[in-house]
Amino acid sequence: MNKVKFRWGEETYTLCVTQDDCWLEDGPSDISDRMLKGMDELAMENGMLPPKGLCAECWKGTYEAIVEDYHIAGETIKDLDLNRCPKCGHTTLPWQSVERVDEILVKHQQKKELK
């Protein structure tokens, strides 16, 4: 568990963070939505994982699995698995797709080094 001190207005609070939860150690029981979102962002910066599927960019959408062609380093990777938020368009790559992209980037880097 991590403990993080932060100021909110005139007060100083201690946020307790685990991988799957966060809570105020010494805070009020009635927390505004704005403070709650700020606490969640601070918690994720300090080791808490985001709720499964929740968009890390807008916090409103849930990622949807899609398959599309992906263009990188002058090449096209056909049928790459992606996760995209329908609310804001933020896109992430599952680990299998990261490996495919890394292969292209390594080849591209090797070509540059040979020149």
Sign of the alpha-carbon torsion through 87, 90, 94, 96: positive
Q: Quote the number of domains for the chain.
A: 2
Query: Residues near 115 by Cβ (< 8 Å), separated by ≥ 6?
Result: none
pLDDT at 29: 66
Query: Residues near 104 by Cβ (< 8 Å), separated by ≥ 6?
Result: 72, 73, 75, 77
| 52 within a domain of the structure (yes/no) | no
Task: Kindly state whether residues 70 and 38 are assigned to the same domain.
Answer: no
Task: Kindly state whether residues 39 and 72 are assigned to the same domain.
Answer: no
Q: Round to whole Å and give the CA distance between 55 and 15.
A: 22
Domain span at 71:
64-114
The candidate with the shortest Cα–Cα distance to 2, out of 60, 70, 105, 14, is 14
pLDDT band at 102 (very low <50, low <70, confident <90, very high): very high
Which pLDDT tens digit goes with each residue over 16-73?
888 777 888 877 667 777 777 777 777 777 776 667 778 878 878 899 999 999 998 8
Supply 43's token pair: 């918690």
pLDDT at 80: 95
| 18 within a domain of the structure (yes/no) | yes
